Amino acid sequence: MSVLLAQDVISGQDGWVYATDNRGNVVHCGDIKSISATITRNKVEIRTLNYNAAGTSRVKGRQQKVVDWSGAGTVTMYHLSPFWIGQINNYIQTGKDWYFTMQVINDDPGSNVGKQRITLTECNMDNIEIAKLDVNADTLESTFNFTFSGVMPSDPSFTFNEITGVNSVTGERLD
C-alpha cells in the first residue's frame, strides 16, 4: 500500500496563464489570481421498456447517455489589465466578437508530478467589470466568466509522471 507524499501535491501558486487573441497577440496574464475551467458532460435521459436498475425487480429505472460536452470557466484577477477591457471595447466599437485561447501551466518544481499545460481554445468572455471602486478594499479584484469549445494538452504526448508515494509500512519511497 502506498501513501501520497505531501511534497508531490501541486502548489496552486506555481504556474502561468497566457492568452492569445484572434490577431495572434500573446499576453502573459500575470494579473490573474485564479482560474478554474470545468468540462460538463451533457446527458439525456433514456427510457426503455422493461429496464430494471441492477438488483431491483419492480422499480423501473432511467438510464443516462452522454451526448456532448460544454466548457466553462471563471477568472479572478487584479483590476488593472487593459488587455481584457480593450478586447471588450473593440467589440463595442466594431460589433465583431472576439475569441481567445488560454494556456494554463501548472509547474511546481518541488513536486515529482511534472509540468501540466492545458490549452483552452475558442474561449469567449461572458462578462467583465470595467470600472470599480471599493473603499473597504486594499486591492481591487475583478471576476469574469467564460466559455470554451476546445481543450487539449499543449504537448499531445503529455502525461503526468506517475507518483507512487511511499510504502505505508516501511516508509521507503516506491519509485
Give the residue from 5, 31, 7 showing the smallest Cα distance to 109.
7
Q: Is the sign of the CA dihedral 120, 124, 130, 136 positive or negative? A: negative
Domain coordinates of the chain in residue numbers?
A: 2-34+77-167
Which residues touch 35 (CB under 8 Å, ≥6 apart)? 17, 73, 74, 75, 76, 102, 104
Output the tens digit of pLDDT for each of the chain's 175 residues. Answer: 577 777 777 777 778 898 987 778 888 887 889 999 999 999 999 887 776 666 555 666 678 899 999 999 999 988 877 788 888 888 999 999 889 999 998 887 777 777 788 899 999 999 988 888 999 999 999 899 999 999 987 665 555 555 555 554 555 655 5
SS3 75: strand
Give the residue from 67, 62, 23 showing the smallest Cα distance to 46.
62
The pTM of this model reads 0.76
Query: In sequence order, what are the beta bridge partners of 141?
Result: 78
